[in-house]
Amino acid sequence: MVGGGEGSFIGNVHRMAARLDGAYELVAGAFSRDHDNCLQTGTDLGLEASRCYPGWEAMLACESVMDDDIRAECIAIVAPNDVHYPVAKAAVAKGFHIISDKPATLDLAEARKLENIIQDSGVLYGLTHTYLGYPMVAEARHKVATGSLGTVRKVYVEYHQGWLATAQETLGNKQAEWRNDPARAGQGGAIGDIGTHAFTLAEWITGQHVNALCAELNTHVEGRQVDDDAAALLRFDGGASGVLVCSQVCAGEENALKIRVYGEMGGLEWQQMEPNNLLLRPADAPSRILRAGVNQSLCELARSRCRTPGGHPEGYLEAFANLYRDFATAIRSGEKGTATNVPGIDMGKRGMKFIQRMIESENSAYQWTNFEDGGKEGASA
Ligand SMILES: NC(=O)c1ccc[n+]([C@@H]2O[C@H](COP(=O)([O-])OP(=O)(O)OC[C@H]3O[C@@H](n4cnc5c(N)ncnc54)[C@H](O)[C@@H]3O)[C@@H](O)[C@H]2O)c1
């Protein structure tokens, strides 16, 4: 593991998720740039001090030459965004599989390079867009793919948080500090931190790709260097239009991620704070709620991602663990590049493109912007 030292957030979530199915064992870590913190974190987790490394470079160098039965096989990258690409690049070169947190890299140029590197290697790369691991998200995707809604016409996706409604970055909040530093977080604020989740969820469920967007970015908190609030109109390649809203200054909100998709025959709705429910709205029948649970008549992927009988929440840790489990299955079965049902570098690159195009659109006085190549939509037609 790279990152995830004492006092950090997502590293421990990854460790819990990785343990849930017994498919992973934590064997080594460069948990922090502070070696005392790294040692403390690792030894508290039961690691030998010799495998709590002073830096990720030393960890990759030492682990790659160890005997096969003890060496690390897979590197989890859970440090701030600027660390993702250098670690991933070096890890691929040494033959490690990679599970990285999002966004994939610091910028689009790095994501392009990483995609090439992974394509030419024999390793697997997985990106923990957590929400894609929920069973009812799999069911939503299945409903769209099997035509329950007809052709998708309208997509609304929103992700609202309130924790950055005040200048937490000036008050000693470590998570807020690096997120407000473009050198460590990248150019995107809310659009990178949570907008990429919303964007990826919309593309995953609809099976359509965004091909143009028109964005507005705002920075509400004085002195902040990155956006903390944004919205965009979207056009999809399958003909749908959409709206994406992401904001970290909605005071009082927790993790209010919600998606609604409407086709010519009906709609569906999923909210991550009520993750067991998938609301279906057929045009010609009353609305109904499909529920998560191992005994329900859901699609195969959704059922495989339910861990408990109906009525018990299939939550955040379990969704994370589902991605970890599917990634382990892919390692065992010798898959290369992208693991089945786990977001890969292709989606990571699209997430980085999303951040860049949102900024380009804002900087061009809210013009419609081509998703693939940038520039004003239609200018090259
Ligand atoms: N998938 C999700 O839902 C989700 C949620 C939160 C964060 N994230 C992502 O996870 C990553 C970490 O976010 P966080 O909120 O846990 O940050 P954090 O600040 O809480 O933790 C970062 C950790 O990385 C360590 N670190 C920093 N530089 C390092 C280096 N060069 N080598 C080794 N360790 C280093 C820090 O010491 C710290 O322990 C980010 O990329 C973020 O976007 C994803």
Domains and CATH numbers, the chain: 10-130 (3.40.50.720), 131-310+352-357 (3.30.360.10)
Mean pLDDT of 150-171: 98
Instruction: Give me ligand 1 centre to Cα 133, in Å.
Output: 20
Question: Closest ligand 1 atom, CA of 37?
Answer: 37
pLDDT surpasses 90 at 294: no
Choosing from 2, 6, 10 the residue with most ligand 1 atoms within 8 A of its CB, the one to mutate for a pocket test is 10
Q: What local confidence, expressed as pLDDT, does residue 380 receive? A: 42
**Residue 378 — very low, low, confident or very high, per pLDDT cuts 50/70/90?**
low
CB 123 within 8 A of CB 148: no
Instruction: Give me ligand 1 centre to Cα 142, in Å.
Output: 32
Residues 25-39 pLDDT 10s: 999 999 999 999 999
Instruction: Give me ligand 1 centre to Cα 289, in Å.
Output: 36
Residue nearest to atom 30 of ligand 1 (CA): 33
Question: Closest ligand 1 atom, CA of 79?
Answer: 24
CA nearest to 96, candidates 365, 331, 360: 331
Question: Closest ligand 1 atom, CA of 83?
Answer: 31
**Residue 203 — very low, low, confident or very high, per pLDDT cuts 50/70/90?**
very high
Q: What local confidence, expressed as pLDDT, does residue 192 receive? A: 98
Question: Closest ligand 1 atom, CA of 34?
Answer: 37
Q: What local confidence, expressed as pLDDT, does residue 222 receive? A: 98
Question: Closest ligand 1 atom, CA of 5?
Answer: 39
DSSP secondary structure string, 44-68?
A: HTT--GGGB-SSHHHHHHHHHTS-T
Instruction: Give me ligand 1 centre to Cα 189, in Å.
Output: 15
Residues 96-120 pLDDT 10s: 999 999 999 999 999 999 999 999 8
**Residue 379 — very low, low, confident or very high, per pLDDT cuts 50/70/90?**
low
Mean pLDDT of the chain: 97
Instruction: Give me ligand 1 centre to Cα 248, in Å.
Output: 18
Question: Closest ligand 1 atom, CA of 193?
Answer: 43
Residues 295-344 pLDDT 10s: 889 999 999 999 999 999 999 999 999 999 999 999 999 999 999 999 99
Residue nearest to atom 2 of ligand 1 (CA): 130
Q: Please give all residues whose beta carbon lies within 6 A of any atom in ligand 1, as ranges.
A: 2-5, 8-11, 30-33, 56, 78-81, 83, 101-102, 128, 130, 174-175, 178, 193
Residue nearest to atom 6 of ligand 1 (CA): 10
CB 249 within 8 A of CB 193: no
Residue nearest to atom 37 of ligand 1 (CA): 32
Q: At residue 1, what is the residue type? A: M
Q: What local confidence, expressed as pLDDT, does residue 132 receive? A: 98
First-to-last C-alpha distance (Å) of the chain: 47
Choosing from 32, 77, 161 the residue with most ligand 1 atoms within 8 A of its CB, the one to mutate for a pocket test is 32
Q: Which residues pair with 76 in a beta bridge?
A: 99
Question: Closest ligand 1 atom, CA of 6?
Answer: 39
Q: What local confidence, expressed as pLDDT, does residue 376 receive? A: 76
pLDDT surpasses 80 at 377: no
Residue nearest to atom 22 of ligand 1 (CA): 79
Instruction: Give me ligand 1 centre to Cα 82, in Å.
Output: 10
Question: Closest ligand 1 atom, CA of 192?
Answer: 43
Give, in degrees to the nearest 5, the angle at Cα 315 between 312 and 318: 105
Instruction: Give me ligand 1 centre to Cα 80, in Å.
Output: 4
Angle between helices 196-206 and 135-145 (to 10 degrees): 40
Lowest mean pLDDT: which of 76-80, 205-209, 314-318, 374-378?
Answer: 374-378
Size of the chain, expressed as the number of residues it contains: 381
Instruction: Give me ligand 1 centre to Cα 362, in Å.
Output: 28
Residue 74 φ then ψ, to 5°: -140, 135
Question: Within 13 Å, how many C-alpha atoms sit on residue 117's CB side?
Answer: 23
**H-helix or E-strand spanning residue 92:** helix 81-93
Structure token digits, residue 147: 């035509």
